[in-house]
Amino acid sequence: MAGLCPAAFSGTASPVTSSLRPIVPPVNAAAALAAPSRATWAFDAVIFDMDGVITDTAAVHSAAWKHMFDEFLRARERDHGEPLREFTHAQDYLRYVDGKPRLQGIAAFLAARDVHLPTGAADDPPSAETIHGLGRRKNELFHALVEAEGVRVYASSIALVGKLWRAGIQVGLATSSKNAALILGKAGVRELFATVVDGLVAEQLQLPGKPHPDIFAAACARLGSSAARAIVIEDAGIQQFVFGVAL
C-alpha cells in the first residue's frame, strides 16, 4: 500500500486509537436519576456525521482518493497526453468529494478536470475505466487502509455522546459512507448510536446525498424526533452546514 499516507491529511483534532475503547453510556438507574431532565433541553436528538466527527477516517478517505485519482491521472497522461495535475486534499478532496456519495464525488472531480467517462455498472471491476470502476478501486484502497491501520476515534466526540445519553437525549448517526458498519465496528462504537443512516440505507430509501438534508431527516424520524427538535453535528463547509440549520 505504498503511497498511501493518511497522516499527511490529518486535521488539528486529537483522535485516539480504537484500542482505547470508549465507555458505553451507562443505563443503570443511578445514572438515569443523576441525569438532567429532558425538559431542560431545547432539543431531543443529536445526529452526528461520522467521518471527521466521530472517526478520524476523513484523512484515510482523502489518502485513498488521492492514490486512486493520481494513478488514473498518470494513466491519462501516458495514454492520452493529458498534462498531469495531481489530486490534492485542499483543492480537490474538500471541494469535490468530501461528504458526497462516492459516485457523485467521482463525477464532480472528473467534470472539474474536463474528463468524461461512462457511468458503467455497479458490478464493474476496479480496473474498468468507468465511474463505477473508479469507485470500486477507491473503496478497495480504503478497506486496505482500514484493515492495516484500524480506525481512530475523537475522544471529545465520544465523551459528548456519553453526556447526551446520560442526559436522556437520543443520539443517531448519518453519513454518506457505505462503509459505516465496517468503520464503526472497527472503532468499537456502533452501540453508541440508536440509529445509523448510511449510504446503503440512503440507497435503499432512494434518499439524495449531501448537501441535501434527507439522511439527517431520516435519522431524526427513526429516533422519533421532529427535525425542529434536533441538532446536526457536521464537519462540512459552511455551504453544506446550512442544511443542518434548515432541518
Is 51 one of the catalytic residues?
yes
pLDDT at 245 over 80: no
Which pLDDT score is estimated for 129?
95
Sign of CA dihedral 198, 174, 181, 53: positive
Share of the chain above pLDDT 70, in %: 79
Check residue 39 and give its pLDDT.
52
Q: Which of 44, 51, 98, 198 is an active site residue?
A: 51
pLDDT per position as a tens digit, 47-90: 999 998 999 888 898 999 999 999 999 999 999 999 999 999 99
pLDDT band at residue 236 using 50, 70 and 90 as cut-offs: low
Query: C-alpha grid cell for residue 53?
Result: 466527527
SS3 content of the chain, % helix, strand, coil (to 5): 50, 10, 40
pLDDT in tens, 80-116: 999 999 999 999 999 999 878 899 999 999 999 999 9
- pLDDT tens for residues 3-34? 443 333 333 333 433 333 333 333 332 343 24
Contact residues for 139 (Cβ-Cβ < 8 A; gap 6+): 102, 178, 179
pLDDT of residue 166: 93
Q: Is 98 a catalytic residue?
A: no
Cα dihedral 90/93/95/99 (nearest 10): -130
What's the average model confidence in pLDDT over 205-233?
A: 91
Phi, psi for 13 (deg, rounded to 5): -70, 165
Q: All 3 cell numbers of residue 209?
A: 446525498
Q: What does the pLDDT read at residue 225?
A: 93
Greater model confidence, 6 or 234: 234
Question: Tens digits of per-residue pLDDT, 174-204?
Answer: 998 899 999 999 999 999 999 999 999 999 9
Q: What is the mean pLDDT of residues 223-234?
A: 92
The grid cell for 166 is 446520560
Helices (H) and strands (E) in the chain, counts: 9, 6
pTM for the predicted model, two decimal places: 0.69
Active-site residue (options: 49, 56, 92, 124): 49
What pLDDT is attached to residue 2? Answer: 39
Single-letter residue type at 77: E
